[in-house]
Structures are given as C-alpha cells and as structure tokens.
Amino acid sequence: MPPCVNRRSVLTSLCSLPFLTRSAVICADEKDDPVAQKIDLSLRRAMKWIASEQQASGAWTTNDFGESTATTSLAIMAMLASGHVPGEGPYGQHLTRGVGWLLAQQRDNGLLVGRERSHGPMYSHGIATLMLAEVCGMVVPTQSDLCRDVLQKAVKLIVDAQNHQKPPEHDGGWRYQPTSGDADLSVTAWQLLALRAAKDIGCDVPAENIDRAIAYVRRLHVKHDGGFGYMVGHGSTITRAGTGITALEVCGEHRTPETLAAAKLILSRPLTKGEHYFYYGAYYCTIGMYKVGGEEWQQSREALYRTILDLQNPEGYWDPEDGTERQAGRVYSTSLSVLALAIEYGYLPIYQR
C-alpha cells in the first residue's frame, strides 16, 4: 500500500491552539450562530466524558458486550472529529492507547474484532477499518507501519466478503459475516465508508467493487416515498433514508434523484427521539443531509442539531433508550452524537463534502 496521506501536520497546526479558539480558526462568524456555540460547549463536555470512560487496556466498552473494536473506533473518531490528534494535547495519549489496543485485535484472516460477543462481526470490522483509514496519517511514528499493514488486511477482507457469492438481489452488498450469502443496507454502509476512506489514502480498492456497492444501494431505494429499505423489497424509515443518502454520497453520487428523494423524506418527517435506532439515525441523517448540502441542509441543519443537543446529559454523555442501542451503551450513543454535531468542523476527510 502506498504511504498514507499525512494529515497530522495540518490537524496539529489547527489543534495546537486551545480548543476554545477553534471557532476563530474555522468559523470566524460563529459568534453570530448560537447553535454553533452550543455545539462547541457540548463537544467539550463530551470529550471529557469519553476520555473518562477509556479502560486501562486502551479500549472502550459497550454495556453488554465488553471491550469492543466498534465502540473503541467510534470513540477515537469522535475525538478526531472534535479536532484532537494522537500523541498531542489533552487527549493525545487516549487516542494513541486506543489505536494501539485496536491494532492488536486483528485476527489472522484480517477481521478487526476483539472479544466482544456479537452476531455480526462485519459491523465492528467496518467501523474499525473506517477509523484506521481516517487516523492512519496521524498516528504516532511507532504505530505508522503497523497501522498501514493492519488497514490493508482489513480492506482485503471487506473486498473478499463482497465478492463472496450472493444471489443477484444481494450482489454488491455486505451482511453480518465475511461469508454471508445476503446483504443489508446497514452493514453495507459501514463497509462503503471504510472502503472510500481507505481508497482516498491509497489502499487497493478496485473501482468495480465500489460500483457494485452503489448498484446494490440503489436497488434498496423505495420509490413510493423516496427512502431506502433494509433489504430489497423492505420499507423505509427515516434512519434508513439517512443511511442510504450517506452511502451514495460518499461514493460521489451527489444530489442524485435517489439522494434528493430521501432528503425530501427526511424534511417531511423530521428525526425525533422516538425514532427506532435514534442515535444511528441522528448520525446518518446529519451526515447525509450535510453531504447533500444546498437548501436541504439549510432547512434541516438547526432541527437536527437541536434534537441531538437537547438530549445530552449535563455530565457530557447521551443516554440510549432503545433496546439494542441501550445494549451498545453510552459510549456508542455519545460518539455517534459527537460525529453528527462535529460534521461542519471538517476534520475527518470522509465526512467532508
């Protein structure tokens, strides 16, 4: 794999100032945007809480499944998205220890899954691969070579899993296992984010695999309401609408009929606390609408931000209430909330327009 793009020096120059000065560096007119000011305060509280939850091993945990490569990767990405880098600043050592723990979890076949109990290891693998692709150019020098090696093996497993024989309606997608014979939108979206981030820093990702994944996501488009289904023939939800938008937009399918139709659905049925998989939806709807941009983002921006901000506990975390999300725990819901709120900071390339 070619050397990863070194984003460390760029981020370090921006982040060497106190975090409070970020608005002066990035958004000079932020003083006129009360929502942006609330986001800054919210993220500072969240960073302290996430850091306090790191285990001695360097990992972060779920409620029910123990130390988790997915939860650890989400926590690391939340810190990166808030403007922090490995080895420097108040959370530099937290990041370095977290990356170090994750790099030690790779199995012989390339799978990035720790000891967490899970029926779907491809979720954790996709999220962990995405994180490594984003952090690879920022890790401390002693982790650089290993990070590239682990990332390349992880990418190969994703490509091989997609190439595993599937029926035509599932071709191009991914599901719970590397050898699954079917596919779904949720697992596929994480693998697509990971592949695009890895391709952007020089990993070997054949264009054909991206094209097949795009075709799969398009087959999930629900024409009658504009959203996306979990599988072919399934109905849509607001969360899936955001997921489908994000999956297509990261692959360069910008403001296509499918993404605009899904954005229209989100505008007509705004995300609320009662949405099934609320934090998953908050993440994907915010990222997706930001990627679509234009009037769609301007119309949805404040409502999405305020919906998330209003649910933050004063201690800095977000408390999941849905059954499955409650099992995943507060680090999961807090990290997804941070990634959504920090979208306009622009620190992580995969979330940029």
Question: Does a structural domain hold residue 25?
Answer: no
Q: Coil, strand, or helix at residue 229?
A: strand
Do 228 and 222 touch, CB atoms closer than 8 A?
yes
49 or 31: which carries more pLDDT confidence?
Answer: 49
Which residues, other chains included, contact 86 with Cβ-Cβ below 8 Å and sequence gap of 6+?
A: 8, 92, 95, 96, 99, 135, 138, 139, 140, 143
Q: Which residue's structure tokens are 């794999």?
A: 1
- The DSSP code for 106 is B
Q: Coil, strand, or helix at residue 85?
A: coil
- Positive or negative CA dihedral for 43, 95, 348, 237? negative
Question: Does a structural domain hold residue 214?
Answer: yes
Range of the domain at 55: 8-13+42-351
Ordered DSSP codes for 156-170 = HHHHHHHHS---GGG
Q: What is the mean pLDDT of residues 267-278?
A: 94
Do 31 and 301 touch, CB atoms closer than 8 A?
no
Question: Does a structural domain hold residue 19?
Answer: no
- What are the tokens at 64? 């029910």
Q: What is the mean pLDDT of residues 304-331?
A: 95
- Count Cβ atoms below 10 Å from residue 52 Cβ, excluding itself: 11
For 181-240, the pLDDT digits (tens) are 999 999 999 999 999 999 999 999 999 999 999 999 999 999 999 999 999 999 999 999
Question: Is the backbone of residue 58 left (phi > 0), alpha (psi -120 to 50) or beta?
Answer: left
Question: Does a structural domain hold residue 50?
Answer: yes
> Sorting pLDDT into bands at 50, 70 and 90, what band is 30?
low
- What are the tokens at 189? 């979206």
Query: In terms of pTM, does the model score above 0.75?
Result: yes
Ordered DSSP codes for 8-43 = HHHHHHHHSS-GGGHHHHH-TTGGG-HHHHHHHHHH
Asked if pLDDT for residue 109 goes beyond 80, the answer is yes
Question: Does a structural domain hold residue 35?
Answer: no
CATH number at residue 90: 1.50.10.20
For 138-158, the pLDDT digits (tens) are 999 999 999 999 999 999 999
Do 266 and 232 touch, CB atoms closer than 8 A?
no
Cα separations in angstroms, 159 against 119, 231, 304: 20, 20, 34
Asked if pLDDT for residue 9 goes beyond 80, the answer is no
Q: Coil, strand, or helix at residue 247?
A: helix
205 or 31: which carries more pLDDT confidence?
Answer: 205
Do 246 and 291 touch, CB atoms closer than 8 A?
yes
Question: Does a structural domain hold residue 33?
Answer: no
State the total domains in the chain. 1
32 or 234: which carries more pLDDT confidence?
Answer: 234
Q: Coil, strand, or helix at residue 6?
A: coil
Asked if pLDDT for residue 118 goes beyond 90, the answer is no
Q: Coil, strand, or helix at residue 112?
A: strand
Question: Does a structural domain hold residue 2?
Answer: no
Which residues, other chains included, contact 240 with Cβ-Cβ below 8 Å and sequence gap of 6+?
A: 185, 227, 228, 229, 230
The whole-angstrom separation of Cα 187 and Cα 110 is 17
Give the chain's mean pLDDT. Answer: 91
